Amino acid sequence: MRAFLIIIFQLVVVFAQAQQSTFFKRIDFRIDTAEYHYPKDSRVYKDEKTLFFKAENKDEIMEIILFPEEEIKIKRLHIAGSSDYIVLDSLKEIGNKYFRGKIRLQNLPDIKFLRLVMIAETDEGLITDEIKMSPFFETFVGAPSEIQDLYLGEDRTIELSAKNIFNIRIPSDWQVAGPLKFRLQKGDNHIKLFVHPESLGYKDLILNLKTVAPFLKGNKELSFDLPPVKLKFNIKPSRIGYVNLDRNEFFLDPASLHTEEVQIDYHRNFELGKTYRVENQQKPGGRLVAELYTISVVGNSNKILAVLRPYTLHKISEGYLFIKDGDELEFITNFNVLEKPTIENISVLREGQDWTSSTVVYPGERVEVKIEGRGLSKADFYFDGVRDIKYDTTRTSDNVKFYLIRIPTDIIKRRISLYMNGIITKYDLQLREFQIPKALGFVGLSYDKEVFPLSGNVFNKPVLTRAPIKDINIVFFENNIDTKTRFYGKQYLNIEVRMYNTKSDLIEFQKIENVVVCPGEASPRYFFYDVKDCKKGEININDYLLHKTYDMEGWWKLEITIKHNDQKYSLPGYSQKITFIKEMVTALDLQVSFPTGLLVKKFSQSGFGNLTGISIAFLAQFSFYDQQKVGKLKPYKVGAGFIALDIFNLSENNKQRDLGFVVLGSLFPVRKESKFSFPLYAGCGYLLKNNTFFVVFGPGVTFNF
């Protein structure tokens, strides 16, 4: 039953704007001891009414109490399934006053769009309602209150206490605040602050940080801004000779064959033509990070030209590096030795779907691209031909980067190359045109000198026509396929034509397959579609029929089915059947009947007339069709012809036997076509033998030809 309701809900959502309705007065939500009321406690966020609630844990249990509108009689109430929560207790009615249920919210820090959807079963049908919700987390960053000592030219790492660090937006680049250069990095339960002083004295540093998701301040207003974090520093002269390199980032060559030419600060204790060890600790026996070979003094620049050969990875955040002559410490320095940026995989995410390794994208769509590899923190990426690119700084690391991009609607390239640090890579996004079945409003039928689109109401019922159908043409409105912002691409259609005779026997069946209709010039992608196989002009149905439409006889039926070729799409296509019926008002047939026991009144004789024996009537007879029922005859006929009265009485003195002209009306008790029936007759005529007019009434037996 639950699975059935979920399917029903999914069908309802397709027409959500038309069917969605509010069926409650208010909803109370309880988490632990906190209580929230909707819509009273909701806030407008991104143009939508949103209920914000405080969360303390990754998973929270929420109790729901719903008070329905009094005028809406709810039989049953359900919470639609979602990956964001698990229904623990289904909604149950309590005392005909309210409904109560319970859910477990899951992975709250990772939820971006939390929507609680409820389905109500009422006498009028299913009603759905949706509440947008957003968890917020108590977030703060703390700093030591005492003054921190720094030494000129030396980097220092300070740990800042933090709560709910996942909700803090951390810029990854180095920043400058007066004489201080600093950078922030997320730790497990803290934030690392890397500070590099460049002048002496007391300095203050104020960090203005923002949250990823908004939170409610004390005045119940939404905010992204955390309270400022203030640190105080006392910058002192350097304790030991600190050597700066002209750059602080180098890439590691795994084979250690590659060297980097650098310029370092001049110091009188440096010996030229000497190799120094660069280790990760001050004591002997440290890990060898690099070797530094001094070459010469650079003119009057107070610099020394040297060669650096990295041997292992190192980050500035891991601590200082020590330049040694053997095991003797000479200087300190610091720089990054990073992995050379390498891409290992890219994948694509569309809204409402999972990550896919397929790199196929479509014009105009917005997708998220995940780039995985090594050393990516120092890699800048660019998608060739894409202008709308947003880099997600909150989810970046050395192994993965995320980009939100919108593919231009007018893009020409079939492959969108990925550039890393200005150099093209072997990875790209493959551009394809949309191929989505669209409702058949772009197809029309032309007949009787008019064109009717299939999206209208003309073909919602069979089309009855009395006049001959000269031609039926299928026409296409190519400019109705794509819009400026929504593309459907080439439409692949199959057409089936069936013709039935009066008895509903199938007398002809034709298929017109692989009809390709391309979007017209109004589409922004018009010039990029491959139009080699596109259908131009109309399709005349008579070109494919042996029985032409203009030769259709009375109550013949023509069925035209136009549908998408499902083999070309990953989604179900559309189908529509159009029916034409050749209508008739009357029908003429020849009839032989055997009236028996007719009451014949001759005008030349007095009295009520005489009963005859078996007679024979040959009639040309008109039948009349019921205009309210397709192909059904009315229970009466009118005809004219000859009648031979009492023809099987062969006695010589038979005065009733005669031949005459007659006009007869017949009434059929059984209202169906049959070769053999028993009608009642009434009519008048002229007898040739007695030379007199007469009227006749009585039963008979009829044979139809």
What is the tens place of the pLDDT at every residue in 683-705?
898 888 888 888 888 887 665 55
Would the CATH topology of 2-137 be identical to that of 140-236? yes
- Going from the C-alpha of 392 to that of each of 382, 397, 425, 631, the distances in angstroms are 14, 11, 21, 69
CB atoms within 10 A of CB 266: 13
What's the pLDDT at 231?
A: 92
Q: Which helix (H) or strand (E) holds 565?
A: none
What's the pLDDT at 673?
A: 55
- Going from the C-alpha of 632 to that of each of 138, 229, 304, 503, 579, the distances in angstroms are 78, 89, 109, 12, 18
Structural domain boundaries in the chain? 2-137, 140-236, 249-339, 342-431, 440-582, 586-704
What's the pLDDT at 9?
A: 42
Q: Using alpha carbons, select from 671, 685, 688 the residue that is nearest to residue 595.
A: 685
Q: Is the pLDDT of residue 552 over 50?
A: yes
The one-character DSSP state at 13 is H
The stretch 645-672 carries a mean pLDDT of 74
Measured distance CA(302)–CA(304) in Å, rounded: 7
Instruction: Give the model's confidence band at 196: pLDDT under 50 very low, under 70 low, under 90 confident, else very high.
Output: confident
Contact (CB, 8 A) for 551 and 534: no
Measured distance CA(550)–CA(548) in Å, rounded: 5
pLDDT tens digit sequence for 39-97 = 888 888 878 888 888 888 888 899 999 888 877 788 888 888 888 888 898 888 888 88
Burial class (CB in 10 A: 0-12, 13-18, 19+), 629: exposed
Lowest mean pLDDT among 107-111, 168-172, 186-190: 107-111
Q: Is the pLDDT of residue 599 over 60?
A: yes
Whole-prediction pTM value? 0.53
What's the pLDDT at 675?
A: 61
Q: How many Cα atoms occupy the beta-carbon half-sphere of 87 within 13 Å?
A: 16
Q: Using alpha carbons, select from 287, 136, 298, 154 the residue that is nearest to residue 226.
A: 136
The stretch 576-588 carries a mean pLDDT of 84
Q: Is the pLDDT of residue 265 over 80?
A: yes
Q: Is the pLDDT of residue 31 over 80?
A: yes
pLDDT tens digit sequence for 443-465 = 999 988 889 999 878 888 888 88
Q: Is 309 helix (H, G, I), strand (E, B) or coil?
A: strand
Q: Is the pLDDT of residue 267 over 60?
A: yes
Mean pLDDT, rounded, of the chain:
85
Lowest mean pLDDT among 165-179, 218-232, 262-276, 584-598: 584-598
Give the start-end residues of each E strand in 47-174.
48-55, 60-68, 74-79, 85-94, 98-105, 114-122, 125-137, 140-141, 148-151, 156-163, 168-169
What's the pLDDT at 3?
A: 45
What's the pLDDT at 705?
A: 52
What's the pLDDT at 557?
A: 92
pLDDT tens digit sequence for 282-317 = 888 899 999 999 999 998 788 999 999 999 999 888
pLDDT tens digit sequence for 482-524 = 998 899 999 999 999 999 998 889 999 999 999 999 999 999 9
> Which residues lie closer than 8 Å to 644 by C-beta, 6 or more apart?
615, 616, 617, 657, 658, 659
Buried b or exposed e, range 418-451, using 16+ CB within 10 angstroms? bebeeeebebbbebebbbbbbebebbbbbbeeee
Q: What is the CATH number of domain 140-236?
A: 2.60.40
Measured distance CA(332)–CA(326) in Å, rounded: 14
The one-character DSSP state at 596 is B
Gyration radius from the chain CA atoms? 45
Q: Using alpha carbons, select from 472, 479, 480, 476 the residue that is nearest to residue 450.
A: 472
Contact (CB, 8 A) for 317 and 157: yes
Q: Using alpha carbons, select from 565, 599, 576 the residue that is nearest to residue 695.
A: 599
Between 215 and 428, the more confident residue is 428
Q: Is the pLDDT of residue 269 over 70?
A: yes
110 phi/psi in degrees, rounded to 5? -95, -5
* Residue 468: cis peptide before it, omega within 30 degrees of 0: no
Q: Hey, what CATH class is 586-704 in?
A: mainly beta
Q: What is the CATH number of domain 440-582?
A: 2.60.40
Q: How many Cα atoms occupy the beta-carbon half-sphere of 150 within 13 Å?
A: 30
pLDDT tens digit sequence for 469-486 = 888 999 999 999 999 889
Measured distance CA(194)–CA(206) in Å, rounded: 14
Question: Tokens 């602050």 label which residue?
Answer: 193
Measured distance CA(212)–CA(192) in Å, rounded: 18
Q: Is the pLDDT of residue 379 over 70?
A: yes
> Which residues lie closer than 8 Å to 21 by C-beta, 6 or more apart?
127, 128, 129
First vs last C-alpha separation in the chain: 59
pLDDT tens digit sequence for 606-642 = 766 677 777 888 888 877 777 677 767 777 788 888 8
Measured distance CA(495)–CA(559) in Å, rounded: 10
The stretch 263-283 carries a mean pLDDT of 91
> In this structure, what token pair is assigned to residue 30?
């309880």
pLDDT tens digit sequence for 150-163 = 887 677 889 999 98
The stretch 177-181 carries a mean pLDDT of 88
55 phi/psi in degrees, rounded to 5? -120, 140
Percent of all residues in the chain with a pLDDT value above 90, rounded to a whole number: 37
Q: Hey, what CATH class is 342-431 in?
A: mainly beta
Residues forming beta bridges with residue 618, ordered by sequence position: 592, 642
The stretch 187-213 carries a mean pLDDT of 87
> In this structure, what token pair is assigned to residue 604?
């030349």
The one-character DSSP state at 7 is H
Q: What is the CATH number of domain 2-137?
A: 2.60.40.10
What's the pLDDT at 18?
A: 34
Long-range pairs for 44-47 at CB < 8 Å and ≥24 separation? 45/134, 45/214, 45/222
Contact (CB, 8 A) for 575 and 562: yes
